[in-house]
Structure 1
Amino acid sequence: MKDKKNLYRAKRAFTLLEVIISITLFMVLIIFVYKTLDQTKHSNIIFEKQTKNIIQSNKLYDIFFEDIIESTSTIIISYDKDKNARVKFTSNNTFHNPYYSHITYLISSNNKLVRIESKDEFKFADTSYEFYDNSYIDILLEDIEYFDIKKDKAQYVFAIKQKDKKRVLYSTYLIK
């Protein structure tokens, strides 16, 4: 009878080998779970960056689209010494003041795409200090390497190349 009791007690307990195997399996599972969580975190960061870029691109497209579609004058395209486009026109699409209808797009000296909404027409060479008192300057993008606009009948295509990014095209139509 004692042998049966001892045998029964021996079968209820785990051997050292069984404990080591179960701990090893548990650690392998923990490593897989950690790796999965790490990959999920990494993919979420990439997804968040792409989402932010798409939102920024859509906002920029909306600005270009609204400015061009609501333009009330001829769109004048000229180029600076770095061959970046400078665009001037009047538009009913105003963000800051409904009386500031003159819109200018240009690349600033520190490589930023700037939208100037002003009361008076922007003059590139002869800009007075009073002009800046009657204007709003919005920085749309930074680190611009190239900015151009091309016209084909009623279509305008904005081409923008930022540092370390692909060139992006924004196509808008002038509806008269």
Structure 2
Amino acid sequence: MQVTSGAATTTADAAATRRRIFAADIAWCLLGGVLSSMLQFAFVFGGGLVDVARDAGVSKVAAAMPIWLLCFLGNAFGHLAYSCAELTSNDAWGLFASADRKTTAKSSALCVAMAVGMPFHIHTYGIAAVLMGDAGAVFAWPVVMSSTVFTAQLWSVFLREWDGAPREAIRCNAASLVVLVSSVLVVSVCSFY
């Protein structure tokens, strides 16, 4: 009888630990989402740089580029510093050399493609926001973030990332997409008033 009780306690403890870890993971995701808005703040509060660029004769389309240059330089430094620190503290640098060359080459090529794609999508957002004028800072960001989320969702289905996922995770994901669509609709409808 004690063994059953101990096993039940161990199972309950494991479930509680999983819930705590999941809650912490969600908190990190929320923090990442909050911090991702800093690019929007850079665009909104960096308007002086756009004005200086325009006054210097830079085209309207390229006027926001100085903002992105500063953002991406700072961002790259942070990413590189954190990644190098993690690889060093986990003694993981050697794992890259131990993989077979074909896998390493393929993975490296995919990383480069993603490294080009991410800034490209931000640059196109910046161009669109400038071309939209005063409304750009309000509408371009929700559109680019929503399209980013939905594109990532499509890729996750295509890459079969949801195979074997718990139903609760799939339901939470679907609910979050409904909230996202609803919020974009509310912003769109409110723009007419």
TM-score (structure 2 length as normaliser): 0.36
TM-score (structure 1 length as normaliser): 0.39
Structure with more of its chain in strand, by fraction: 1
Structure with more of its chain in helix, by fraction: 2
Higher relative contact order (CA 8 A, sep 6+): 2
Q: Rg: which structure is higher?
A: 1
